[in-house]
Amino acid sequence: MTFPLRRATAAIGVLSVLALAGCAQTAAGSAADAGDPVSGGELTVEFWPDNASFSCVDPFQTYWIEHRQVIRNVADSLTDQDPDTGEIVPWLATDWQVSDDGLTYTFELRDDVTFSDGTDFTADSVVRALDSAKQTTEDVPGAYGGVYIAGYASSEAVDEHTVQVDFSEPNAAFLQGTSTTNLAILSAASYDKTPEERCLGDYSGSGAFTLDSYSPGEGIELTKRAGYDWASELNAHQGEAYLDAVHIRYVAEDSVRVGDVASGASDIAWPRDPFTPEDTTLLESSGVTVEARSLPGPSSAWFPNTSEGHPLSDPLVRQAVQAGIDRETYASTVYGDDYPVVEGAYDTTTPFFTSEADALAYDPDEAARLLDEAGWTLADGDDYRTKDGETLTLVAPITAESPGEVLLQDQLKQIGIDLELSVYQASERASIVSGGEYDLLGTYYTRADPGVLAWILDNRYAGSVALADNAQSADTAQRIRDLFDAGTTTTDAADRADVYAELQDLLISDAVSIPLFERVQQAGIAPGVNGFRFTSESFLSYYDIWKQA
C-alpha cells in the first residue's frame, strides 16, 4: 500500500507554521502598490564575495549561500517548499507517493519541461541526476548534497514521466531534499562533465534563467529563458520571467554595497551578515526597503571541544557557558533593538523548531554556581577563575575580530572565563579542528529541515568528522545519531516532531550547541524593484521581480 506524501507533509506545515510565519516579511513593492508587472529591464545584485577556497556553482556540490541562490534561478527541482508553512508542493513533479515502509518514492512528472540545452525533461533525467549524485558523493566526499540522499539505492524510469526512487533505509527528509537547490535536476549532458567543470557553471538547468558566465571572485551573468512556463504554484505568476537579465557582482565591503544601492548604482544589496543599525538607517532614509527572513537550519552557534584535557570536557563548564551568555543584549547591541533573540539550536524558520528560550535564559549566578561546583574558583581581586593553578581559558578561533565576539568575551569575563579570540586564516581551519587547537568553534549550515545538523554533528555524514567527534562525548554522540536516524526513518509528522523536540532539548541541555544569534538574511531593495520573494531557504527568487520603467 502507498499513500500520497503530499497529504502527510501538510502536517509538517501545521507544526511549524507559527514559527515560520513570524519571520517571513512582506514583499517589497508589491503589484498592489506599484501597478501591474511589466516585462523588460535588467537587475544588478551585489553579493558578499563567493567562497575563494571553493568556487563552485554546481547544485550538488556547493553550500555557499550566494552560489545556491543563483542556482535556484537556473535549475528547477522536483518539488518546492512553501516558506510560510513548510509544506512541499509540486514543481517538476506533479504528484508523488511513498510506500508504507518509507523505502520507495514514486514521482509523476510534468511532460512540458525542457532544459536550456534544448533536451526534454523526463524520468530518465531524474534517474541520471540521482545516480550522478550518488557517484559524486563517492568521488567528492565533501559534496554538500550527500546528506540529502542518505540511504539512496537506485532509481528507475517506470515510463517516460514516472520515476521510482528506492532507498536501502528510510529517509523521511528526502522529500524536502527534492525541493532544494542541492537536488536540482540538470540535463543529461551536464553529468557528462566532470565535477570540476560543473563547479564552474558548465551545465544546463530548466530554470527561468540561463547561466551565461561565472567568474569566481567577480560575478555571474544570467539571461531570461525564452519559453519558460513551469514555475511552481508558490510564485506570483506563470510564464517567462519579467527581467531580461540579472547581473551579479561580488563586493567585499559592506559600505560599498550599502552605498551602491542607496545611490541607485545597484538594485539589491545582499550582505553576508545583517546590516548594522547605522546602515539600516542610511538605507531607509534613501528609500531602500530592507527585507528580512531567518535562514533555516542551525542557528549561529559555538560547538565545544569536549575531548580530554579541554575545560569543556566537563559538562558543568559547558552549561556555565550556556548560562553566561546574554543573548538578548547580544542581539540588540550588535544588530539593533528589533533583531530577534536566538531561541534554540535551530533558527525559527526550520520545520519542527522548538523554542528553548527558557533553557537559554541569561543567568550569571547559575553560571558561577556551576563553575564553583566544577572546581573553578574566583579569588578576590582576580578577573578569571583558576583550578589547580590553571586559568580557565577558552580558545575561540575567529577569522577577524568583530564587535559580537568582543561582547561575548566581555560577558564570559563577568563569570570568570578568559575567552581568547585567536585570529586565523580560513585555510588553517581544517588543521585547527583536526589538531583540536580550540575550545569553541562557530559554524552553521542552511536547510529547511532539522536533519541538516547531521552535517555538523553526525560523523557518518559530517563535513568535518573531527569537529563532530570533538563536540560531544561518545554517549551523547550515540544518542544524537539515534535521534537523527529516528528523524529520517519516521515518516509520521507528529512522531518526527517528537524526535526533533527531544534532539533540541539534548543539544541545549548538554551544551553540544551553544547558540549565539539567530541567522537573519537581509536584503536592501532599491525603489522601483517589485516582486521580491524569499524562498524557503531564504534565498532570493528573481522570477517574480520586475522593475518600474
pLDDT at 33: 55
CATH code for the domain in which residue 399 is found: 3.10.105.10
**How do residues 406-424 score in pLDDT, each as one tens digit?**
999 999 999 999 999 999 9
Model pTM? 0.89
Q: Poorest-confidence range of 5-14, 40-49, 445-454?
A: 5-14
Q: Are residues 312 and 374 in the same domain?
A: yes
Q: Poorest-confidence range of 23-32, 134-143, 358-367?
A: 23-32
Q: Looking at residues 323-329, what average pLDDT do you find?
A: 98
What's the structural domain count of the chain? 2
pLDDT at 426: 80
**209-215, strands of its sheet edge to edge:** 209-215, 219-224, 245-250, 42-47, 268-270, 520-525, 289-294
Q: Are residues 407 and 502 in the same domain?
A: yes
Q: Looking at residues 306-335, what average pLDDT do you find?
A: 97
CATH code for the domain in which residue 53 is found: 3.40.190.10
Which cell goes with 495?
512522531
Q: Are residues 291 and 321 in the same domain?
A: no
Decide if pLDDT at 73 tops 90.
yes
Q: Looking at residues 341-370, what average pLDDT do you find?
A: 98
Q: Are residues 167 and 95 in the same domain?
A: yes
Decide if pLDDT at 29 tops 90.
no
Q: Are residues 270 and 145 in the same domain?
A: yes
Q: Are residues 245 and 270 in the same domain?
A: yes
pLDDT at 142: 67
Decide if pLDDT at 447 tops 50.
yes
Q: Are residues 229 and 378 in the same domain?
A: no
Which cell goes with 47?
553579493
Q: For all residues of the chain together, what is the average pLDDT? A: 91
Decide if pLDDT at 100 tops 70.
yes
Decide if pLDDT at 2 tops 60.
no
CB within 8 Å of 385: residues ≥ 6 apart: 371, 376, 377, 378, 391, 392, 416, 417
Q: Are residues 307 and 230 in the same domain?
A: no
CB within 8 Å of 33: residues ≥ 6 apart: 530
Maximum distance among all alpha carbons in the chain?
78
Distance, CA of 548 to CA of 537 (rounded, Å): 27
Decide if pLDDT at 355 tops 80.
yes
* 3-class state of residue 404 by DSSP: helix
Q: Are residues 347 and 493 in the same domain?
A: yes
Q: Looking at residues 455-472, what average pLDDT do you find?
A: 92
Decide if pLDDT at 425 tops 90.
no
Question: Which range marks the domain in which residue 163 is found?
Answer: 2-295+521-547
Are the C-beta atoms of 310 and 497 separated by less than 8 Å? no
Decide if pLDDT at 78 tops 70.
yes
Confidence label for 31 from pLDDT (cuts 50, 70 and 90):
very low
Q: Are residues 384 and 426 in the same domain?
A: yes
Report for 270-274, 295-299, 333-337, 398-402: range of highest mean pLDDT: 295-299
Burial class (CB in 10 A: 0-12, 13-18, 19+), 333: middle
CB within 8 Å of 30: residues ≥ 6 apart: 530, 531
Decide if pLDDT at 301 tops 80.
yes
**How do residues 208-245 score in pLDDT, each as one tens digit?**
999 999 999 999 999 999 999 999 999 999 999 999 99
Q: Poorest-confidence range of 18-32, 159-173, 302-316?
A: 18-32
Q: Are residues 314 and 290 in the same domain?
A: no
Report the percent of the chain where pLDDT is more than 90.
Answer: 81
Q: Which of 117, 324, 105 is nearest to 203 (CA)?
A: 117
Distance, CA of 325 to CA of 409 (rounded, Å): 10
Q: Looking at residues 293-316, what average pLDDT do you find?
A: 97
Q: Are residues 428 and 543 in the same domain?
A: no
**How do residues 490-526 score in pLDDT, each as one tens digit?**
878 899 999 999 999 999 999 999 999 999 999 999 9
Q: Poorest-confidence range of 48-62, 204-218, 535-549?
A: 48-62
pLDDT at 460: 85
| CB-facing half-sphere around the CA of 482: CA atoms within 13 A | 8
Decide if pLDDT at 139 tops 80.
yes
Confidence label for 25 from pLDDT (cuts 50, 70 and 90):
very low
